[in-house]
Amino acid sequence: MRQEWGRLVALLLSQFRRLDLVEDALGDAVEAASRTWPVDGTPDNPAGWLMTAAKRRVLDRLRTEGVAQRKLPMLLTDAERQQEGARTMADSGSLVEDDVLRLVLMCAHPALAPESAGALSLRLVLGVPTADIARLFLVPEPTMAARIARAKKRIVGAGIPFAVPDAAVLPERLDIVAQTTYLAFTAGYAPGSGPDLLRADLSGEAIRLARVVLGLRPDEPALVALLALMLLQHSRRDARVSDGRLVLLADQDRRRWHHDDVAEALRLLTGPVLAGPVTPLTASYALQARIAAEHATAPTADDTRWDRVVGLYDLLLHVSPSPSARLARAVAVAEDRGAAAGLAALEGLEIPSSHRPAAVRAELLARSGDTDAARAAYDQAIAACDNDVEREFLERQRASL
């Protein structure tokens, strides 16, 4: 059923254009199915059954709303544009006719806040329950429900269309789909508390989202590179937590990594799609994936080819310079050429309101035997850290000096 969710939402939207009704109607239909199918047996065409039931519910609602509210704003679709002959006459060959792609592009529209876009994509394209999306982004369920409702209202209010844009803008828009997907993925690996320390199962939903889009646009380089990157990070999910604590990469039990994910990612990275010229975003995903692949293919932590990792970070900084990439490069430099070289690479690096540069400096100072300076750097990192799990980790490191 979950595979069909996005397609059913898309079909209902193109028919009724009522973003406020469609999702509830489909939810009701699924709920009715869970009651009647076990008793009456699963219908021959489950998706068709759900579609009919959901349609009936939308029609019921429209009838009760009656004449008074006929002016409610409706979702704009490009079907209308076509009636108006607005843009499709030029070159219909450059347009991709697919309702699910329309849905994906609407949910990840650049006029929506990135976090709302991620939440909305998981909800509408994949049918992930709101409670789970709230857990993924570490917010209370009512907050997430309100955020999703606001995003849906904004789509209708701002005139964000349920449409596939011109071929000229499509790659740019698919880049935003990729960024939205990656944001949802990384949200699952932001440390939470207790049993929700990591929410790798929900990060897996972002991988599913990328696969849905790749099903529609198989040769989209940004999504191929992103899928490889996510698979490599996700392959370590079972080794990242032990006894309710985060385990650092070097200390992870590599037998618990998912080597099938690694193999798929390596196939994607060496495939033909990424062989040609790519956008900076794609290059950045592909380079991050190749860095992750160096770790994934090293038999032990000591076997890691840090020289190659440093080289890949140099390329990454060239393509897409960022303080966090500089920080990661400094860590790799320290592994390759020693703590002093790592400290030199950290020189002058600051990330506003982040504890990470101070935490790395503390670790490298500790390694080079400068305990006093290390302690001071840990204090700085602990003061700047607003995540309970990571702060406890830093406090343990400081205490062990």
Question: What does the binding site for another protein look like in residue numbers (CB under 8 A)?
Answer: 71, 76, 80-81, 84-87, 109, 111, 157-161, 163, 165-166, 169
DSSP-based three-state secondary structure for 245: strand
Nearer to another protein, 81 or 398 (CB): 81
Of 72 and 401, which CB lies nearer to another protein in the complex structure? Answer: 72
- Tell me how far, at minimum, the Cβ of 87 lies from another protein, in Å: 7
Which helix (H) or strand (E) segment holds residue 15: the answer is helix 2-16
Nearest approach in angstroms of CB 164 to another protein is: 10
Nearer of residues 59 and 74 to another protein, judged by Cβ:
74
Least gap, CB of 77 to another protein (angstroms) = 9
Q: Name the residue nearer to another protein (CB basis): 109 or 147.
A: 109
Q: Residue 112 Cβ, how far from another protein at the closest point, in Å?
A: 11
**How far apart are alpha carbons 141 and 387 in whole angstroms?**
20
Which 3 state secondary structure label does DSSP give 297? helix
The minimum distance between CB 159 and another protein, in angstroms, equals: 4
- Residue number with CB closer to another protein (78 or 205): 78
> Least distance from C-beta 91 to another protein, angstroms?
15
**Cβ contacts of residue 222 below 8 Å, gap of 6+?**
171, 174, 175, 178, 278, 279, 281, 282, 285
Look-up of token digits 């698979």: 231
Which tokens in the block code for residue 23?
Answer: 């999702």
CB of 20 to another protein, least distance (A): 16
Residues 336, 311: contact at Cβ < 8 Å? no
- Are β-strands 245-246 and 241-242 bridged in parallel, bridged antiparallel, or unpaired? antiparallel
C-beta closer to another protein: residue 24 or 98: 98
- C-alpha closest to that of 339 among 369, 317, 309, 314: 369
Give Cα separations from 363 to 125, 189, 378 (angstroms): 43, 22, 8
3-state secondary structure string across 359-378: HHHHHHHHHCCCHHHHHHHH
Q: What does the DSSP 8-state code read for residue 77?
A: B
Residue 86 vs 383, nearer CB to another protein: 86
